[in-house]
Amino acid sequence: MTAVPPLAERLHAVRDGIADAAREASRDVAEITTIVVTKFHPATMVRELHDLGVRDFGESRHQEAQPKIADLADLDATWHFVGQLQSKKARQVAAYVDVIHSVDRDSLATAIAGYPLEVFIQVNLTEDSGRGGAEPEAIHRLAEHLEGAAGLTLRGLMAVAPLGGEARAAFARLRQLSEQLVQIAPRASALSMGMSGDYRDAILEGATHLRIGTAITGKRPEHG
């Protein structure tokens, strides 16, 4: 018998967890995309995950993502940018990813216009306006801007549950905001929410895109 490598074990455990949560929510697991967030991990791990059938990968820092994704150009993969984005870096990022989950202001929408991209509006669900994400009141105007921009396809809303808060309640809030958004943007019904510690809650509240790092990759290597 050969030992199952830990990476494969963790991936299978998360896939089982996702299937269980989907069953609990009476949802079809096929409507849920799992993005494996590989930030701080080397390209070799991405190749291993690709060999295990993963096709959706997430990165969150331009300096790291640009060379890594260039290295992996031979893979059949969809690249998702999930991190905070500076306006002056946004066009560069737009040139090498397929999906951006963190559009939260007009200047970013303007910067990435013209690239063939799927985008999510990141919403700030905390009381702290300094955190990433558009305020809920700003969603509709930003959605109209994105829908009018060349190249861009608005898929829906993204959020990170507040630290130490009730993840389920935050995801329920994003779902409510999504129900309002589809009144003006019927195709923008996707919900990017749920990470290693809270993906079950996210699935129960309708997540269509999970962004899962450490539960699959293991602890991130030390970084400064």
Ligand X SMILES: *Cc1c(COP(=O)(O)O)cnc(C)c1O
What are the residues binding ligand X (CB under 6 A)?
A: 37, 39, 60, 82-83, 160, 195-197, 211-215
For residue 124, give both structure tokens: 């700030």
Whichever of 13 and 184 has its CB closer to ligand X, that residue is 13
- Using a 10 angstrom Cβ sphere, with 0-12 exposed, 13-18 middle and 19 or more buried, the burial of residue 183 is exposed
CB of 218 to ligand X, least distance (A): 10
Amino acid at 121: I
Dihedrals φ, ψ of 102, to 5°?
Answer: -120, 35
- Contact of 199 with 17, CB cutoff 8 Å: yes
Could you tell me the smallest distance in angstroms from the CB atom of residue 167 to ligand X? 11
- The whole-angstrom separation of Cα 148 and Cα 185 is 11
Minimum distance from residue 148 beta carbon to ligand X (Å): 26
By beta carbon distance, the residue nearest ligand X is 213
Q: How far is the CB of 11 from ligand X (least distance, A)?
A: 13
Nearer to ligand X, 100 or 143 (CB): 100
CA trace torsion 127, 222, 35, 199 (10° rounding)? -50
Pick 101 or 145: Cβ nearer ligand X:
101
Q: Closer to ligand X by CB, 88 or 223: give it.
A: 223
